[in-house]
Amino acid sequence: MKNTGRIVMYLLILVVVAVSLHKYVFSAQPVPPNFAARPIGLYTHIFAAIVALLLGPLQFSTRLRQRHRQLHRWTGRAYLGIGILIGGLSGLYMALTSWGGPLVKTGFACLALLWLYTGFKAYSAIRAGDIAQHRAYMVRNFSLTLAAVTLRIYLPVLMMSGVEFDTTYTLVAWLSWVPNLLLAEMVWNRRPSVQVRAPMA
């Protein structure tokens, strides 16, 4: 069951990456006006988010961490430095200038800020050699990364259920990440952490 869940997650990530590249990079169709007005912010966020989505699952691979520690560290640095730092800052910019009312902007802005904060805490923890805290914040951070996936699940489901687009977009600005974070805390971070120290990354 555990492996099945991972496979489903990987497949969903690959689908989101493929759809995003097709829609915003390879397709000749124009992007929405609010995105087209900010191409640098949009494409920076897309590139960084794709890096985070593709590298994120690798950070939880026990085999990679044990057998290829240096590769684990470098992919982790790329995940946090490119995916989270650049993705979070560009995501915050896009959130504050996005289409929609204050609830939409606040929802996506909170997502970006928490993405940046949990990434910073994960990095600070591993620099201090605190593996337990590093893992806990990486779990929180990756649950927020997966907002890119859950957003694309909730959006069509709500629209097919008859909810108006304005209401749908407002809901997914929060639904895309709040349940993810709660699930991460209740399931993956619920067990008591054992304080483990490690050399600085």
Instruction: Give me the pLDDT at residue 29, please.
Output: 77
Instruction: Give me the pLDDT at residue 31, please.
Output: 77
Instruction: Give me the pLDDT at residue 192, please.
Output: 58
Confidence of residue 125 (pLDDT cuts 50, 70, 90): very high
Q: Per residue in 140-166, pLDDT tens?
A: 999 999 999 999 999 999 999 998 988
Question: Hey, what domains does the chain have and what are their CATH numbers?
Answer: 2-188 (1.20.120)
Instruction: Give me the pLDDT at residue 137, please.
Output: 97
Closest C-alpha among 2, 145, 147 to residue 62: 2
* Cα gap 160→152, rounded to integer Å: 13
* Cα gap 83→141, rounded to integer Å: 11
Q: Per residue in 128-139, pLDDT tens?
A: 999 999 999 999
Instruction: Give me the pLDDT at residue 195, please.
Output: 45
* Cα gap 72→55, rounded to integer Å: 10
Residue 111 CB neighbour total at 10 angstroms = 25
Q: Per residue in 40-89, pLDDT tens?
A: 999 999 999 999 999 999 999 888 888 999 999 999 999 999 999 999 99
Instruction: Give first-to-last CA distance, the chain, whole Å.
Output: 32
Residue 92 has pLDDT above 50, yes or no: yes
Instruction: Give me the pLDDT at residue 196, please.
Output: 41
Instruction: Give me the pLDDT at residue 197, please.
Output: 44
Once rounded to an integer, what is the mean pLDDT over residues 28-41?
82
Please name the residue that has the structure tokens 């008859």.
162
Task: Output 92 or 6, whichever has higher pLDDT.
Answer: 92
